[in-house]
């Protein structure tokens, strides 16, 4: 998620900066990116006036923008003490504290800024970013909404609101939010990339590609956009082009674990299992240790005949799956498929209790294979819909004139090469069309 920009330091007043206005000259040097000279002049001023709030703010911002976060925090903290009633000073201090991972301290700074100026859009926006970092997603959305009430053209607030909505699987709302970010700032590369990512999840692959291409046109060295483009090309079965996109992403950022993982998936599809294994190994080494990576790692090891290593990778994946909603039931089902019946009764009692409480522990199809209890199976289906269905109302159905005969329609996500669809074919054939 993008962090908020540092607020600009207070402007100098008066005429042209010169010897009589060293702070104004420091600002001019900063504006022309002559930062070494600006820093030397700021330090000289502080040697004579240690609590000059404008100089402290300017120096702290320069430190933050050049990656010297610890020094920036010390200087901007002093600036905030000198400017206790200035919201911008507290926002600047909060931003650098957030960069240092001190999220709760940063949140306190933003909330102080809001108390000082309740209609400060940037303070509400940054509060939303901090709340997102603390996984308080609903509260983050509330802060972004307030920022957007105060500044409807706040592109970063629209973009980051979309990020949160996407994590909540509210994909259509997320797409609309990213599109609003693009409308507010057409050259916003991250918003174009995020539009593409949501469109990919919606399986609108050609539109997703267009989003990634726009992001790359704006920022050619955008590694994530190249990797995302590779994932979408893989979904379109354009494996050579997909691999080329991932290789481009890794040329830009060799430490992108996600790009290594996507590259491994493409190579797996191309049945280049040894190369895929190298990519998955790299993804794991670089810190991508989620269950899906271990599962895919185990898959290529199995394809290469390394059975013991494959079992070890699958074991890590399954152990992790047990901690994720619904996947405890999938884990039990996978063990049944492996003829592993250890702890079966205990696991079954745990799942029944979870479903009765309304917990997301077992998906409905898993329960069909475990017990014959229609009421529990219905309850499991209700929980599944509650947790995983998009929180978007269906569009109203168009009205059609009445006909003499009843018209039947069948709706399914997979009326294709699927067992149930094949078994249903005769049902359609045997309808009495009279």
Q: Can you give the pLDDT at residue 410?
A: 80
Query: End-to-end distance of the chain based on CA atoms, in angstroms?
Result: 59
Higher pLDDT, 211 or 360: 211
pLDDT of 247 > 50? The answer is yes
Q: How confident is the model at residue 356 (pLDDT cuts 50, 70, 90)?
A: confident
In the predicted model, what is the mean pLDDT of residues 129-148?
95
The predicted structure's pLDDT at residue 318:
77
Radius of gyration of the chain (CA): 28
Give the mean pLDDT of the chain. Answer: 88
Residue 2 has pLDDT above 70, yes or no: no
More confident residue, 297 or 1: 297
CA-CA distance, 371 to 390, in Å (whole number)? 28
Structure confidence at residue 327 (pLDDT): 65
d(CA 304, CA 313) in angstroms, rounded, equals 14
Q: Residue 352: how many CA atoms within 13 Å on its side-chain side? A: 12
CA dihedral defined by 32, 5, 124, 195, rounded to 10 degrees? 130
Helix axes 327-337, 307-321, angle to 10 degrees: 150
pLDDT, one tens digit per residue, over 328-342 is: 777 777 777 778 888
**Quick check: 17 pLDDT over 70?**
no
DSSP assignments along 355-368, one per residue = HHHT-S-S-HHHHH
- Chain centroid to CA 136: how far? 14
Joined tokens for residue 244: 């080329």
In which band, very low, low, confident or very high, does the pLDDT at 402 lie, cut at 50, 70 and 90? Answer: confident
C-alpha distance from residue 320 to each of 54, 296, 309, 323, 380 (Å): 51, 14, 17, 6, 22
271-322 confidence digits (pLDDT tens): 999 999 999 999 999 999 998 999 899 999 989 999 889 888 988 887 766 5
Most confident of 133-147, 305-319, 372-386: 133-147
In contact, 200 and 235? CB cutoff 8 Å: yes
For 21-53, write each residue's pLDDT tens digit: 888 888 888 888 898 888 898 888 888 988 898
């Amino acid at each position: 998620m993008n962090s908020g920009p540092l607020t600009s330091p207070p402007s100098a007043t008066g005429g042209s900066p010169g010897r009589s206005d060293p702070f104004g000259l420091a600002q001019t040097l900063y504006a022309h990116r002559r930062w070494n000279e600006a820093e030397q002049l700021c330090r000289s001023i502080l040697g004579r006036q240690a609590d000059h709030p404008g100089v402290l703010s300017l120096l702290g911002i320069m430190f933050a923008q050049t990656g010297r976060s610890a020094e920036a925090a010390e200087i901007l903290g002093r600036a905030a003490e000198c400017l206790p009633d200035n919201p911008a000073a507290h926002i600047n201090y909060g931003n650098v504290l957030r960069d240092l991972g001190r999220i709760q301290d940063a949140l306190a700074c933003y909330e102080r800024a809001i108390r000082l100026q309740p209609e400060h859009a940037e303070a509400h926006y940054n509060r939303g970013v901090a709340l997102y970092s603390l996984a308080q997603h609903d509260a983050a959305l509330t802060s972004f909404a307030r920022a957007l009430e105060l500044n409807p053209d706040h592109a970063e607030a629209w973009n980051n609101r979309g990020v949160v909505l996407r994590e909540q699987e509210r994909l259509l709302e997320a797409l609309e939010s990213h599109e609003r970010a693009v409308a507010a700032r057409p050259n916003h590369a991250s918003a174009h990339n995020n539009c593409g990512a949501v469109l990919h999840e919606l399986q609108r692959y050609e539109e997703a590609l267009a989003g990634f291409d726009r992001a790359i046109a704006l920022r050619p060295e955008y590694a994530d956009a190249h990797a995302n483009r590779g994932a979408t090309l893989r979904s379109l079965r354009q494996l050579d082009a997909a691999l080329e996109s991932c290789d481009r992403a890794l040329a830009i950022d060799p430490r992108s674990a996600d790009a290594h993982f996507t590259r491994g998936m493409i190579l797996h599809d191309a049945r280049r299992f040894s190369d895929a294994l190298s990519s998955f190994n790299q993804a794991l080494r670089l810190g991508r240790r989620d269950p899906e990576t271990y599962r895919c790692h185990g898959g290529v090891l199995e394809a290469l005949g390394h059975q013991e290593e494959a079992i070890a990778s699958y074991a890590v994946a399954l152990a992790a799956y047990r901690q994720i909603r619904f996947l405890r039931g999938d884990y039990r089902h996978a063990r049944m498929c492996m003829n592993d019946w250890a702890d079966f009764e205990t696991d079954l009692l745990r799942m029944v209790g979870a479903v009765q409480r309304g917990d997301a522990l077992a998906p409905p199809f898993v329960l069909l294979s475990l017990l014959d209890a229609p009421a529990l199976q219905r309850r499991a289906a209700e929980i599944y819909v509650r947790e995983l269905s998009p929180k978007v109302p269906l569009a109203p159905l168009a009205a059609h004139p009445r006909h003499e005969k009843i018209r039947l329609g069948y709706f399914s996500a997979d009326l294709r090469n699927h067992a149930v669809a094949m078994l249903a074919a005769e049902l359609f054939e045997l309808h009495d069309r009279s």
